[in-house]
Structure formats: structure tokens, C-alpha cells
Amino acid sequence: MNLEEDILIERFLRKELSEEEKKAFLKRLDIDVEFKESFLLEKELYESLNDKDWSYANNVDPKELEAYEVVFQNEETKKLQEKIGKASREYQKKGKNNVVRLYTIISAVAAVFLLFFTFNFLNADIDNAELYASYVQKEELPSYVTRGDSDADTKILLAAEKSFKGKEYKETLEVLEHVNINNDATLLLYKGISYIELGNYEKGITTFDILIKSDLIDAEKGYWYKSLLYVKSNQFDKAEKTLKKIIANNYFKKKQAEELLSKIKK
Amino acid sequence: MESSFFLEALVKGDSKTITEIYNTSFVQVKRFITQNKGNSEDAEDIFQKALLQLGVRYKREKFTIKSSFEAYLFTVCKNLWRRELNKHKNRVTNSEVVELVSEPKDNSLALIEQKRQELFLEKLNDISENCKKVLSLFFAKVSYAEIVVETEYNSETVVRQRVFKCKKRLTELVRNDARYQSLKEL
């Protein structure tokens, strides 16, 4: 093929030929086998090596095509297809379950806290800490087990979760000391709640403040848990202030904050 | 882990490894597809097709993957998605494919197209660096005037001649490879 023919093919592919030139070009493809071969290869390259296009196999060796079709249709391939489909469904389900689980956890925690406070104000003599321990259900906080990766950081997270759910709050805090958790809302909640459990309210407040000041999506949750900390530690003035902030800014748990505030004020 | 481990697992239909592949690779593919005019269902469909393609191909021919399995799977998914996005255009310009193609046939065509693209990329890597650069620009539909700016050549005529020579070298390499015979358009 010479330069002239190459330019002609290129102009055809770039749709630069006039109607007449195009007609002559197509006619030549019909009669000139060598020219047609050059054109087809050029077209395949032109479409394959451009990210925005794709080179389709419209008319390839039927034997080659049939050989693959046979494999695509055999029993083993059908079984593989079923297994891939099953893995896909399970994977998607797991993702959905995680979302559902998170909502369940949030609702459960809210219900438990609500129950705790209602009970608390109706039975003023009952010890706050005892109630808290009975109803907090921390094992339902979000989990890292389903992340699927196994790098060093994930191992630390899993160790922290294991300790937290095993109510070993001191160990939880020890594990979390080795990793920067300032960009992970769940871990900050693990840490903050561990401090509440250990009665170290000052550090609990510091932890929730880190969450509040962060630019994480869940940053506002810090206010809710901080208000719960204040209630548990009998700092009702501060609890009231924090709850008002939640209500004014329409933060996480606004409705519960309103209920809780009305009970504190009673 | 060796790429052949994952390919063998697909041939054997090893559910545990298939799940592992989902855990490590699906998110990246989904992100790519949803950022390129697709949705989650498209991503699921493409991912399944890609895994099936790899399984079938490995069953017929024990091919080797030069990159990691994850990177290769991503490339296959990306190409299958390019294929989907260009389907409408192909139907318009090739009246013969308007007919409805069965799923096994369509999957086989996609596999042949993938192999053809791999062969072209392999040959593109076999030519000189200079030719590779000029042709990459040319196939990306960069105009001759712009190629002059991007390279050390000083006129469009010189670039045109360079493209011609490089293309000739590339097409020779492709034609001389026995694999091309079963992949080319007739």
C-alpha cells in the first residue's frame, strides 16, 4: 500500500470523503482484495487503539467463533456462570445488609438510650451507670469484620473491635493508641464510649470533640454521644446546652434530643 | 498470588476464590463504570461477563497474564464497557449486526475482540519508542498540526510520512503474527 492509498483510507475513516469519493471507495473494497485487507486492518487498529472507540468483530473466522461458542454453552461454563451469579448476589446482599445493619444499630442505640433516660427520670434513685451498662448494647456498633481486606491497619481495627465487643475497654484504648483514628467516626465512637465505660469523662469529651471538629460526614454524631456522656456523668447543664445545639442545627438525633431535653428540664 | 491461581479457580468454579475476587476487585470496576455513564447494575453485569470470559478463555487456551490478575480483570471490564457504550454506533454503521445475536455468540465475539486488542497493544510495544509515540497520538485522533507541536518534527508533511512508515511497521508485525489470522475481519 502506498502513501496515497493510506491517506484515502484515513480520510474514509475520518468521514472526510465526499459522497462520490465514498461510493468509489466502497466499490474498490468489493473488487480489490488487497486494498480491502489493508482497510480492515487499518480500521481495526484505528478503533482498537482509541479509548473512546471499540473494534467489533463483525465477520471473523467462523470456526474460531464457533469453537468459543461451544465452550460458552457447555455444562461446566453454565455451572461457572451460576457460581459467579451467586457470588455477585451474595456480595450485593452483604453490602445492603451492612446499610440495613447500620440503621438497625442506630435505631437500637437510640431506643436503648431513650429507654434508659425515661427509666432514669422515672426512677431517680436508680444508678445511672448501672442502667447504662444494662441497656447500651455496644456490640451492635458498626463492624470492621466485613471489610474483606487484611492489611496491617485492618488487623488493628479488628483487634480494637474484638476488645470493644468483649467489653475490654482498657485493651480497646491500648490498641487504638497505635493507629491514627481521627478520620474514622466509628473508631472515635468506640474510643469515646470506652472512656465513658471507664469513667474517664474528660478524655471521652476530648475524643468526641475530635469527631465534632473533623470534616467527617458523621462529625455531628459527636454532639449526640457527648450529650449522653454529660447525662451519664450528671452534668445536666452541659447536656442541656449540647442538646440545644443539636436541635438548633438539626443535627443527628434531633428528635431524640428534643425528647431528652424535655426530660432533663422536668 | 499468581494470576494462574485465579484463572484455575475460575475454570474449577471455586466459589471461595470467586468471592475473594469480588471483595478485592468489584469496587474499582463499579467506580469506573458509574463514573462513565453507567450504573450499579451495569457494573454487576460487566463484572460477571468479564469473569466468565476469563474462565472460558483459560479453559480453551492456557494464556498468561503479564500484569496482576486484578489489573488484567479491570482492563477486561473496561473494554467490555467500551464495547457496550459503542454498541449503538456500531449498529448504525454496520447494518449486518442489527440482527439479534445470541448470548454465547456475543460473549465469543467480545472474547475475540479482547484478544485482538491485546495483540495490537503487544505489537505497538514492539515498535520503536518514537513510532509508538507518534502512532499513539495518531490513533487518539490528534490532528497532524497538533502532532507537530507534541513532537520534534517540523512540518505536517514530515509527520504524515512518519505516521505512514510507523503504521506500515506495525501492520507488518500484526500480519506476520499467526494469531492474527483467527482474529481478523474477513
Host H or E run for residue B173 = helix B156-175
Element counts in chain A: helices (H) and strands (E): 13, 0
Task: Tell me which residue in A57, A58, A80 faces B55 most closely, judged by beta carbons.
Answer: A80
Tell which residue, A180, A142, A185, A134, has the closest CA to residue A161.
A142
**Count of H-run helices and E-run strands, chain B:** 8, 0
**A73/B13 touch (CB, cutoff 8 Å), yes or no:** no
Compute mean pLDDT per 10 residues along chain A, 266 residues long, and list them: 88 91 93 93 92 89 92 93 91 73 72 61 48 53 61 74 83 84 86 90 93 87 90 87 90 86 77
Under 8 Å between Cβ of A191 and A141: no
Write down the pLDDT at residue A123: 46
The Cα diameter of chain A in Å comes to: 102
Report whether A65 contacts B105 (CB < 8 A).
yes
3-class secondary-structure state, position A46? helix
A26 touches chain B (CB under 8 A): no
Partners of residue B170 in chain A, C-beta under 8 Å: 45
The contacts found for B36-44 with CB under 8 angstroms, 24 or more apart, are: B36/B81, B36/B85, B37/B85, B38/B81, B38/B84, B42/B81, B42/B84, B44/A88, B44/A92
Touching check for A90 and chain B: CB below 8 Å?
yes
Cβ-Cβ contacts under 8 Å, B171 against chain A: 38, 41-42, 45
Instruction: Kindly state the DSSP code that residue B155 receives in the 8-state scheme.
Output: S
DSSP-derived letter for residue A214 is S
> What pLDDT does residue A126 have?
38
| In chain A, residues 231-250 whose CB comes closer than 8 Å to chain B | none
Residues whose CB is less than 8 angstroms from the CB of residue A196 and which lie 6 or more positions away in sequence, other chains included: A132, A204, A228, A229, A232
Residue A177 identity (one-letter amino acid):
E
- The C-alpha atoms of residue A101 and residue A103 are separated, in whole angstroms, by 5
Beta strands (DSSP E) in chain B are: none
Chain A residues in contact with B167 (beta carbon < 8 A): 6, 42, 45
Please give the ipTM for the structure prediction.
0.90
> Distance between CA atoms of A69 and B105, rounded to whole angstroms?
6
CA distance B60 to B52: 12
Least confident of A114-118, B108-112, B136-140: A114-118
Could you tell me which of B126, B130, B134 has the C-alpha nearest to residue B163? B134
Kindly report the number of other CB atoms within 10 A of residue B114's CB atom.
21
Is residue A11 exposed (0-12), middle (13-18) or buried (19+ Cβ within 10 Å)?
middle
What is the value of pTM for the model shown?
Answer: 0.62
Closest C-alpha among B177, B147, B181 to residue B163: B147
For residues A246 and A258, give the distance between their C-alpha atoms in angstroms, rounded to a whole number.
9
Test mutation, B56, B147, B162, chain A, max A CBs within 10 A = B56
Say what the pLDDT of residue A192 is. 92
pLDDT band at B172 (very low <50, low <70, confident <90, very high): very high
Question: Phi and psi of A141, rounded to 5°?
Answer: -65, 155
Q: B174 contacts in A (CB within 8 Å)?
A: 41, 45
- pLDDT at site A124: 45
Closest CA to B25 of B84, B85, B72, B82: B72
> CA-to-CA distance for A102 and A91, rounded, in angstroms?
17
Residue pair B86/A54 in contact (Cβ under 8 Å)? The answer is yes
Instruction: Supply the pLDDT for residue B174.
Output: 95
Distances (CA, A) of B113 to A5, A193, B53, B73, B121: 26, 56, 11, 15, 12
- Separation in Å, CA A8 to CA A2, A148, B1, B159: 10, 55, 49, 16
- A77, B55: Cβ pair inside 8 Å? yes
| Confidence label for B21 from pLDDT (cuts 50, 70 and 90) | very high
Q: Which three cell numbers stand for residue A145?
A: 469484620
- Is the CB of A60 less than 8 angstroms away from the CB of B112? yes
- Tell me the pLDDT tens digit for each residue of B63-95: 999 889 999 999 999 999 999 999 876 665 555
**Arithmetic mean of pLDDT, B36-45:** 92
